[in-house]
């Protein structure tokens, strides 16, 4: 399969802090199929190479505070810079489940991007208020909503082609949640 799956993590509620830049309605937990990420990365520049997981596994793209019908918020709090050492307790697990497929980028660049763009916005919520808490929550959500297992329960297996609606129906049937799927196709 190809694509990216998004599911709402939080209850639909409006969060508003004293800063409008952190105003959001839901948190969207996003997973991606690394082979698709690799395909689009190499399509941009054929000399790009990829760092793919050993097994065919979905990996985390991010946990994104989102306003209904809008993008963002993003890059909310520059006073919360990325600190790779804060991830030491979970780094080994991150290297397997939240991988940077784009080989050749600077160490920690993907995690830094996710934290500065999305984590600093979600940090207004106590359960996500630190870098470690933010990334740990993503890891917990992957364990709970692992798309490989969800899709397998609906008899959707890697290497086969399925209509998009089949994916959406499978997620709803197994999890009782509505998903959004973004598909990338070969030209």
| Active site residues per annotation | 61, 114, 118
Sign, CA torsion 11/13/18/21: positive
Residue 121 CA to residue 67 CA, distance in Å, equals: 12
Using DSSP, state whether 91 is helix, strand or coil: helix
b/e per residue 27-40 (b: at least 16 CB within 10 A): bbbbbbbbbbbbbe
Return d(Cα 28, Cα 32) in angstroms, integer. Answer: 13
Does 73 sit behind a cis peptide bond, omega within 30 degrees of 0 on the bond before it?
A: yes
């Amino acid at each position: 399969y190809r694509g990216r799956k998004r599911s709402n993590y939080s209850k639909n509620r409006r969060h508003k802090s004293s800063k409008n830049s952190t105003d959001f309605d839901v948190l969207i937990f996003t997973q991606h199929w690394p082979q698709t990420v690799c395909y689009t990365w190499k399509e941009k520049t054929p000399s790009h190479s990829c760092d793919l997981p050993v097994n065919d596994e979905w990996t985390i793209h991010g946990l994104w505070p989102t306003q209904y019908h809008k993008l963002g918020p993003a890059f909310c709090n520059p006073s919360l810079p990325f600190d790779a050492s804060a991830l030491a307790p979970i780094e080994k697990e991150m290297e397997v489940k939240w991988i940077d497929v784009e080989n050749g980028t600077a160490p920690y660049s993907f995690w830094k991007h996710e934290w500065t763009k999305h984590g600093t916005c979600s940090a207004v919520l106590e359960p996500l208020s630190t870098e470690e808490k933010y990334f740990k929550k993503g890891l917990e959500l992957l364990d709970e909503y692992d798309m490989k297992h969800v899709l397998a329960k609906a008899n959707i297996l890697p290497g086969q082609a399925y209509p998009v609606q089949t994916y959406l129906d499978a997620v709803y049937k197994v999890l009782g949640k509505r998903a959004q799927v973004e598909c990338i196709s070969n030209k």
